[in-house]
Amino acid sequence: MTRFTSNPVGKSVPRVDVYDKLTGIALFADDIQFGPNMYYARLVRSTHAHALIKRIVTSKALEVPGVKAVVTGQDAPELVGMYLVDRPVLAGERVRYYGEPVAGVIATSEAIAEEATRLVEVEYEELPAVFGPMESIQPDAPLLHPDLGKYKVAAFIFPEPGTNISEHFKLRKGDVESAWPRCAAIVEMTFSLPQIQHVPLEPHVSVALWEPSGQVTLWTSTQSPHAQRDLIAQSLNIPHGNLRVLSPYVGGGFGGKAGVTMEACAVVLARAVKGHPVKLRLTREEEFVGTTMRQSLVAHTRIGCDAEGNLLAMETAYYFGGGAYNDYGVNIVRAAGYSCSGPYCIPNIKGDSYCVYTNLPIGGPMRGFGMPEIHWGIEQIMDQLAEKIGMDPAEFRRRNCVKTGDIILTGMKMPAIDPVACIDKVTEAINWGKRPREEEPSAPHKKRGKGIAIMWKAPAMPPNPGSSAVVRFNEDATVILEIGAQELGQGAFTVAAQMAAQALGVPYEWVRVSAPIDTKYSPYEWQTVASRITWSMGNAIKAAAEDARRQILEIVADHWGEDPQDLDIKDGKVISYRSEEEQPLQNMVVYGLPNENFEGWKGGPIVGRGKFMPTYVTNLDFETGQGPRAVVHYTVGAQAVDLEVDTETGQVEILKIASAYDVGKAINPDLVLAQIDGGAVHGMSSVFEALRFDEKGRPLNRSLVDYRIATAVDVPQEIHGDFVETPLEDGPWGARGVGEHVMVPTAPAIANAINDALGIRFNDLPLSAEKIFLALEEVKRETSNVKRETSNVKREAWT
């Protein structure tokens, strides 16, 4: 990467990465990898949240020495999208959010490209804008996508053309209206959450090369190499065989590098300067507007139970602020709809989940995929229902949570799970219902509280996302494992190697996972999303390893004149349980084994192939959301929090977070616990994160100075992780995913703990010390007013 440092007069100068002593030529890292013909790109971004583009003048920018081309939406009219193809690569006729790219400048250096972007003149006609989902659904709201009815859309997504609603999922079960009179307790509340950002340490960066021959190569940091190839190829009319996507290790994803964000821009810009690699790198400030965000949400939820604590009815409406384009967000909203009850058995449900266009940055996938948002309200209501009927909140959840074999809200039979065991583990870990002396507040002005929340999440994906794997051997019997799943820091490659070694019967140290992921050579993998990799990729790896194992055993059985059923592979050797013979794998897995007297050979290079795709997910009825199999499975879990609140400042200190999740089978227990630790901190961070905008839709805190995320200072004194192992019927060795689930219940568990400490409910995120302090002050004023009124009444009575 070409880096810039400041010289004494404050101008940017390139830093030399390599200096060739023989030639005296300074080389940069980009030159070494991509050659000296590499160009750099910067984007011209909209200065309005909603406007028509009347005119773009590029002549001044093109006059800048070093500028090679300027590309506008007129040069790139294509749309791109995952489930709803609604997003232009570069805005053409109108812009729909502040910061939307309207043009790209290509130059010989990033500094020149940046300078030239300031010379591109864009004339706008500003239009009325809407920034919240409730505002956007009003009949008189400006229509943001007049062509909604013309967009290509997945068969299971249902936009409402002529409105700003890009998806409406309906869930109807039982008779809600007849159930309300039977309820002994009803809680009805409105909750809201803001847009938040993924904040990966590595920003988005892509290099694209469009060769004169028509071959296109994209180097990019992505969770979705194969899906990205598919979407960009479809959008830009490139034959799939002509588009190659390479992706190294990803420096933080969390959903923000799933699907397509800025990568299509790099390809379109490269099309304008064929034969030259073009590098497009987003700055930290651009990360906050130029990629996807977690969607905002307004939730109106009403839940009731009987006097014994049995849930009877639920009615909820979720309004997700999907931002300017909803190509991925529509499926998040669908997932929230078919999971709208949370992890509870409720016989009567009416649920509506809406994805709504707004003039804010694009809403998209983020860790949890809609589940942290809906659980924020559900889990607080469960606490309040328990309080109303005088039941312990943990016991209330044990009574009502989904269990193995239950028929859940969509009509699907629940696969094997054990949420009660998760509840038991976390309540024990924080001494639930007890307050020993050592847990007393640390000062007179501080108050302690404990809270609990449970969760569920299914892999939210199309019904047929596939995985594939290839197992090959070297001569020394070391294994080359080829997969298409991506390493994001979650340990996917480690688990992949473990599963291959286990299924083959060789030491783990013998397995090498091929990287980087390259769509030209790597086997197909839909995306590294949805916490599906251990499960889906794992099944494909297991199948590939078993295929290779079968070939090896058949060759050796034939060589020994034995039955393959009597053979096994242990520690890299084929052994016979009948004759007790041994055959090392070295050499034979490539060269085979000789016949008697070396009269010919049998075998040859062993190559195992495996694939997996769920075949049993069914459609859901459009009007009711009912169907035999809505999803492949659910992962469930629980989290409990012990915290302390300073009543003089509103500052909250998380003392302990205890978490437990049913993972089916922990392939790597250390990695599971690492996910639990990281997820707890990530979930805690989401409590005080928020993207803020002014009245024109301009972001106010697009830097790590102003955008608050959890740091080492905020980490709880203790994070206790645990897991339950209830085998999943179609998981490899019974395993299911746990990557996203670990942050889902954190925010409501904290809110419930704050309420336990202070007796104050917070319906809206973010939470801050100031917000809590002001709420405490309001309680003091109300208490003072009540005392004053009571005193006046007594005085009047005495008089």
636 close to 402: Cβ distance less than 8 angstroms: yes
Dihedral class, residue 779 (left if φ above 0, else alpha if ψ from -120 to 50, else beta): alpha
CB-based contact 312:182 (threshold 8 Å): yes
Class of residue 651 by CB neighbours under 10 A (exposed 0-12, middle 13-18, buried 19+): middle
Residue type, 361: P
Where do the H-state alpha helices sit in 466-613? 492-504, 538-560, 588-591
Q: How far apart are CA 603 and CA 534, in angstroms?
A: 32
Sequence-distant (6+) residues with CB within 8 A of 363 are: 195, 292, 293, 294, 295, 296, 320, 321, 322, 323, 326, 328, 329, 332, 355
Residue carrying structure tokens 């996508």: 145
**Residue 348 bridge partners (DSSP):** 313
With beta carbons less than 8 A apart as the criterion, state whether 661 and 427 touch: no
Euclidean distance between CA atoms 79 and 565, whole angstroms: 55
> Phi then psi for 788, rounded to 5 degrees?
-65, -45
The single residue listed with the structure tokens 């004339």 is 123
The CA distances from residue 601 to 105, 462, 556, 559, 581, in Å, are 62, 47, 12, 10, 20
Centre a 10 Å sphere on the Cβ of residue 561 and count the other Cβ atoms it contains.
7
Inter-residue contact 172 to 350 (CB < 8 Å)? yes
- Beta pairing, strands 479-483 & 467-473: antiparallel
Q: How far apart are CA 605 and CA 611, in angstroms?
A: 20
Q: Report the SS3 class of residue 273.
A: coil
DSSP characters for 478-511? -EEEEE----SSS-HHHHHHHHHHHHHTS-GGGE
Query: CB burial class (10 A; 0-12, 13-18, 19+) of residue 654?
Result: buried
Cβ proximity of 254 and 365 under 8 Å:
no
Instruction: Give the active site residues.
Output: 740
Residue 668 one-letter amino acid:
N
Cβ proximity of 639 and 738 under 8 Å = no
Q: Please, is 31 exposed, middle or buried when counting C-beta atoms within 10 Å of its C-beta (0-12, 13-18, 19+)?
A: middle
DSSP E strand stretches across 599-725: 601-602, 607-612, 635-646, 652-662, 718-724
- The residue ranges of DSSP E strands in 647-717, in sequence order, are 652-662
Half-sphere exposure of 174 (CA within 13 A, CB side): 20
User: How is residue 524 written in tokens?
Assistant: 């197909």
